[in-house]
Structures are given as structure tokens and as C-alpha cells.
Chains A and B, each alone.
Chain A
């Protein structure tokens, strides 16, 4: 059973890595060829390929170069170093998690309000949707600067941007989840003369949990994106966004790619934890294994 599911996955992964290497050779070829021509050298094919995969500032770094850079900036450097990727990842992660907490809290409260007050759905929902149509890249500098004039700097403004991105999937998911119980389940509550609070805690909330987790996963990834985007405009000194920005100023593609890989790793880990929590909750709620 195990090997049957693992083998296709490994095959696809291997194919992607091969494609990546081919892409790296192809994209860096001109760079290497120009440099060699300037130096008057005429390397053979294997030497050319070796050089395309070992550029300090390649157009597209090879996977092993990114892994090497990740290793160097996480394991070799002490965490206290300003070039340590662990340090930068933590700065972004703490803002993302704070924003996630704020956004999820706000998103759930908003969903509860929308489900219980008919008027709110008509009046607030369009604004919620419109809020997400504004590009966060355009909004982030305004928020950062505005909060900066109020004396708010560092983690909180970034967390607010992250929260702005992540309340939306939670609200949309929870509104749908709170309305998931069918007419019969609601009629039952009525035959017992249950109060609105009882209907909420004993029926709507448990019924909405699968929707909550779907929303949380999207929100978690969005929170990391939000924290990184919030680091871009104000010239933040630390964080994965700052690393991306510094990397692009100085053409340090390896630095950019390792920061990207780190961001992906952080997101995937957090979403993975949510998946574990989801399975634990599902087991407690008797979901068919």
C-alpha cells in the first residue's frame, strides 16, 4: 500500500528536479557564455554545464545551490547573526502568527454576527468582499506609514496587514459552516425549545468545524504572505521580506531564492500543523476514519 502511493509522488518530484536543473542550465547559459568569451576561454560542454550550475549570481539557481545557501544561513551561522535566516524567519513568523490570531478571531466574530443579524449580511458582506479586492501591495505602505505616525512600529503593523488578509477566508468559511445544519437538525432544536445560544453552541458551531479548518489553512498561508508584503515597503531591517528586498537590490538571487524557500517551508509547516489539529478534532468528533 505504502509503496504504491509513495512511488508516483517520488517520480513526480524527481521529474521536477530534473526539469529545474535543465531550466537552470538553459537560463544561465548566456551569462556563462558571455563571461567565458570575455575571458577568452572556450570551455567544453561538461565544463559549461558545471559553470551554469555554480554561478554566484545565477538567473535561476540550481536546487543544490539553494539548499547550500539555506544550510549556510540557518545551520552554520549563529541565530544571533543578522544574516541568519532563522532570525529573519522568526521575525516574519511572529508577525504572521500574531496577525493570524487577530485575523481568525475577528473573522469568527464577524461570521457569528453575520449569521445572527440578517441586516449585517446585506450591509457588511459587500465591504468584506471589496476589502479583499484591494491589492495588499498597494495598501500595505499606507497602513504601515499611517500606523508609524501613530507611533506603532515593528511587529504590530505587520500583524495587522497579515490579519487583513486572513480574516476573509475564515469569515466566508464560517458563515457557510454556521448555516450548514439542515432544516431537520434545526427543527429538532425547535421541538426542544432550545435558545439561540444553545442552537449556536450545540449545533451550528460543531457543524461548522470542518469549514473552519478549511478557512484556517488558507488564512495561515495568507498570513505569511501578508507579513512578508508588510516588510517590503518601509525598508524593514529584518524578516524574510527584508531579505527578499535586499537580495533584489544587490542582485543576490541565491539570497532571494533561499528566503522564498524559507517562506514556503514556514507556511507549509504551519499548514501541516493545522492538518494534524484537524485530524485530531475529526477523530474526537467521530468522523469515519
Chain B
């Protein structure tokens, strides 16, 4: 088996707050192989976003170990090993779409001509060719989020970290973007870690689903999701799909995820 892209061992993170310690992550063990599409699913407070932020070196674990591409998250971040997509597009409003996608390349010190070419290629990949000169406010929410995916891809990382990227979008746009994301993943063979709280979205996209539970944030189940590479939207009506969705739902229930 190839070396893990992400290897977490007994990973814990405790936030010290005024109301006492909050166990955001507790003894998390997880291995992610190259080319996998992993969804982290669970209710709010289960630590799924925190885990993603630890991988990205936006938070530091308090104990345990984690390796990203065989090195520490900080080293991986400095080596620009990953692209990160946030819940909101977070495009800089004073930059055009092209300017936004070129920004990480500017920061990496890529020469100007190459920047534009690479950014344009990424925009074509998310079907935003022709919108280069628009400003963010001129695009719909779904288009803005696609631009932010293009921005994450611009540095050509092998690992894509996505934190509920479609959470704020309506279901029709969301379905469409899920299909596009699958195509993109099939075309680029990147490793994706995808945070969501939608069961159908997780089952539709993933090769494995990591079910998490709150208080303390922990993994309660890891569900294989081998629906094959070719997944039309209609696959969501098949018994196989529903069986996996049911197991995820059971996992959430077992973790008392529904006691709100």
C-alpha cells in the first residue's frame, strides 16, 4: 500500500475556554491513502472542521501525532501541499476572479505570465472560462464557490481540503456542483478530505465516510462507500446507495449525535 497522505494517531485537541476545557478531538486514528475521497460527517461540535484545520495547520493538536505526506502539518503547509476551500468563497472583493485565482501563485512567486495561464486553466476546469475579468459580486454564490475551488487548485496541490464548501448553497446548485466535483476528482485523481453534514452528499461523493460524534469529538464509524467511479445523480435512488446512507445514519445515531 502506498504511503498515507494523512496519518493521525491518538490525535486529541482540547480548547481551553472560560467555561472549562472543550474536547474538540479525542483519540482520533485515521489513515487516508492517495486518491481517496474522504468525507467527515457529523453534527456541529463533532470536531470535523477542527480535524480539517489540524491537517491544514490552522490549529495545533494538543496530543497524539499527525503526519501529512509523511511530515508535520506545518511543514506540509510551508511546502504548499494542500489547497483549502472554506465554507464561504472568501474571494477578495477588490480582485477580479482571475486576480483571486492568481493570488496564491503571486504569493508563491510564480512569474506573471505563468500565473495567468495557470489560473485560466483552473477556471476552465471549474467551467468559469469567460468570467476572468468579472468581480466577485457579479457572480452567483455557486459560481463564487467554484472560483474559490479554482483558487485552491491553482497551486496544484495533491491534497484538497474542503470545509462544507456547498453548505450555504441551495440544493439544485449543490447537486450540480457535486457532479462537477466528482468529475474534477476523477480527472485530477487528487486526495480530497471533505467536511459535510449532509448524508446524501457524503455518500454520493466519497470512497470512505468518516462518521464523527460530539462531546468529545471522536470517530464512531468509518463506512466504505464503493459505488464505483461512475456516479450519475440517479445513483441516489439505488438500494446500494440507500444501504450505505442507512449505515452512516446508524453511526450518527450510535454516537448520540441526535441528542440535541
Which residues of A does B touch, CB under 8 Å? 182, 184-185, 187-194, 198, 202-203, 206-207, 209, 285-288
Contacts and interface: CB of A to CB of B under 8 A. Distances in A.
B93 A286 contact: yes
B94 A285 contact: yes
**Closest 4 pairs between A and B when the two form their complex, measured CB to CB:** A286-B135, A285-B94, A191-B84, A184-B90
Interface size class of B (residues with CB under 8 A): 20 to 34
Contacts of A288: 137
B104 A184 contact: no
Nearest to B93: A286
Interface string B59-91: 000000000000000000110101110111010
Nearest to B77: A193
Nearest to A193: B78
Contact of B56 (A182, A191, A207, A285): A191
A146 to B, nearest CB: 44
A193 B107 CA distance: 8
A203 B58 contact: no
A58 to B, nearest CB: 53
Contacts of B77: 190-191, 193
7 contacts: A188-B84, A190-B58, A191-B58, A198-B107, A203-B92, A206-B94, A207-B94
B92 A185 contact: yes
B96 interface: yes
Contacts of B108: 192
Contacts of A187: 58, 84, 86
B145 to A, nearest CB: 13
Contacts of A188: 84, 86, 90
Contacts of A194: 107
Contacts, number: 56
Interface string B180-223: 00000000000000000000000000000000000000000000
Contacts of B80: 192-193
Nearest to B76: A193
Contacts of A182: 90
Interface in B102-123: 103-104, 106-108
B257 interface: no
A191 B82 contact: yes
B94 A286 contact: yes
Contacts of B87: 184
Given A188-B86, A190-B77, A191-B58, 9 more contacts: A184-B86, A184-B87, A184-B88, A185-B90, A191-B84, A286-B93, A286-B96, A286-B135, A287-B94
Contacts of A191: 56, 58, 77, 82-84
A187 B83 CA distance: 12
A192 B96 contact: no
Contacts of B93: 285-287
Contact of A192 (B94, B107, B136): B107
Contacts of A207: 92, 94
Contacts of A287: 93-94
A285 B103 CA distance: 15
Nearest to A284: B94
B150 interface: no
A202 B107 contact: yes
Contacts of A286: 93-96, 135-137
A184 B84 CA distance: 11
A285 B96 CA distance: 8
B75 to A, nearest CB: 10
Contacts of B88: 184
A122 B94 CA distance: 32
A174 to B, nearest CB: 16
Contacts of A198: 107
B137 to A, nearest CB: 5
A194 B105 CA distance: 11
A287 B118 CA distance: 26
B155 interface: yes
A206 B82 contact: no
A193 B106 CA distance: 12
A182 B90 CA distance: 9
Contacts of B106: 202
Given A184-B86, A203-B92, A286-B93, A192 B104 contact: yes
A193 B92 CA distance: 17
A69 to B, nearest CB: 47
Specify which of A182, A191, A285 lies most central, judged by the most chain B CB atoms within 10 Å of its CB: A191
A202 B58 contact: no
Q: Which of B78, B86, B96 has the most CB of A within 10 A?
A: B86
B170 to A, nearest CB: 21
Nearest to A188: B90
Nearest to B109: A198
B219 to A, nearest CB: 24
A191 B57 CA distance: 8
Contacts of A185: 90, 92
